[in-house]
Amino acid sequence: MQINWGNMLDDMKESGLWLVLLSFVVMFASTYTLLADGPWQTDQDGHGPFIVLLAIGIAISKYSGLKDVSGPSSPVFGWSFLVVGLLFYIIGSSQEILLLDVGAIIPILVGITLILKGYAGLKQFWVPIFFLSFAIPLPGWIMDTLTQPMKLYLSDLVVDQLFNLGFPIAQNGVVIYIAQYQLLVKDACVGLNSMYSLSAVGFFYIYLVNPESRVRAWALVACIIPFAFIANVIRVTFLVLITYYFGEEAGQGILHDLTGLVMFCSALLLFILFDTFLFRAPKWVANYRKRL
């Protein structure tokens, strides 16, 4: 899609939208500075900047369609969302509750969209708003509650597979022993955050492909979590094998970071293969019926 930046800037000046954007920059500058200095520098939330950039890119691509929306506005629900979002922001920023501070942008954007363009505008603009939710750092208690069972199950799965292949491997909870080496399955490697970021990859792929069939679209949505889990299994398996063949330093060095790339590529490849199957399956069925 080709974007006419000159026309878009002129429209923003005429509609006063630039004032809204300036308010956002001023309002959330400290919030995103806090994210850049803290969570975004960790393995758990390092995907945040990319999510924000993708959301901005999607919003720009949706702008022309949003501009042409002429449906009735929804001031009651719009102001309700806006007030709730502002309360979240005030409480979050004053009490240093990052979940509310960062998450406030979602109801604020929903409210502004409803006030200006109504439900038709929200239907046009919901994708970039929803996508921003993947940039919200999750609280520690949610991470600990949901990540521990996931790590245990994944550790069991990796150890059982490699043991059946003849590797000298054992485990104690989330600690994996292979040969003389010991590996701890960390939250960053196979926690809720990695599932969170991989889910963002899945939704972005669905957005790009934009499948015409609802069955195909919902089938892809249903496979986001399973594919993310499989990608995590592949990453941990790679880490264990790298440590076994090349030593502990290799498993914790640059190759450790490269396995993160392997994880994302694996998830994307699974989506592409499954989507190709969904796209071609009706043709295969039709050809098979013709042969009968």
- What pLDDT, on the 0 to 100 scale, is given for residue 12? 52
The whole-angstrom separation of Cα 225 and Cα 220 is: 10
pLDDT at res. 4: 53
Active-site residue flag, 189: yes
Look at residue 230 in the predicted model and tell me its pLDDT: 86
Distance in angstroms (rounded) separating the CA atoms of residues 277 and 211 = 13
Q: What is the pTM of this model?
A: 0.73
Claim to verify: residue 46 and residue 152 sit in the same structural domain: no
Residue 106: pLDDT band with limits 50, 70, 90: very high
> What is the three-class DSSP state of 244?
helix
Q: Which long-range contacts (CB under 8 A, 24 or more apart) does 41-48 make?
A: 42/188, 43/186, 43/188, 43/189, 43/193, 43/260, 44/137, 44/143, 44/187, 44/188, 44/191, 44/193, 45/137, 45/193, 47/134, 47/135, 47/193, 47/196, 47/197, 47/200, 48/135, 48/137
Residue 211 confidence (pLDDT): 76
Number of Cβ within a 10 Å radius of residue 166 = 7
Residue 201 and residue 222 in one domain: yes
pLDDT band at 51 (very low <50, low <70, confident <90, very high): confident
Domain end among 68, 101, 135: 135
Question: In the beta sheet, which residues pair with residue 169?
Answer: 178
User: Whole domain around residue 274: which residue ranges?
Assistant: 140-291
Query: How is residue 33 annotated by DSSP?
Result: H
Of the residues 223, 235, 265, 289, only one is catalytic, namely 235
Map residue 199 onto helix, strand or coil.
helix
pLDDT of residue 43: 65
**Residue the block writes with tokens 């996508």:** 131
pLDDT at site 59: 83
107, 135, 163 - which closes a domain:
135
> Regarding predicted confidence, which is higher, 13 or 287?
287
Of residues 154 and 188, more confidence is placed in 154
SS3 at position 53 = helix
Mean pLDDT of all residues belonging to the chain? 79
Domains held by the chain: number = 2
Catalytic: 235?
yes
Lowest-pLDDT range, 69-73, 180-184, 250-254? 250-254
With cut-offs at 50, 70 and 90, classify the pLDDT of residue 280.
Answer: confident
Give me the percent of the chain exceeding a pLDDT of 70. Answer: 79
The residue out of 110, 135, 160 marking a domain boundary is 135
Q: How confident is the model at residue 112 (pLDDT cuts 50, 70, 90)?
A: confident
Q: Is the same domain home to 222 and 246?
A: yes
pLDDT band, residue 16 (cuts 50/70/90): low
Residues 155 and 277 in one domain: yes
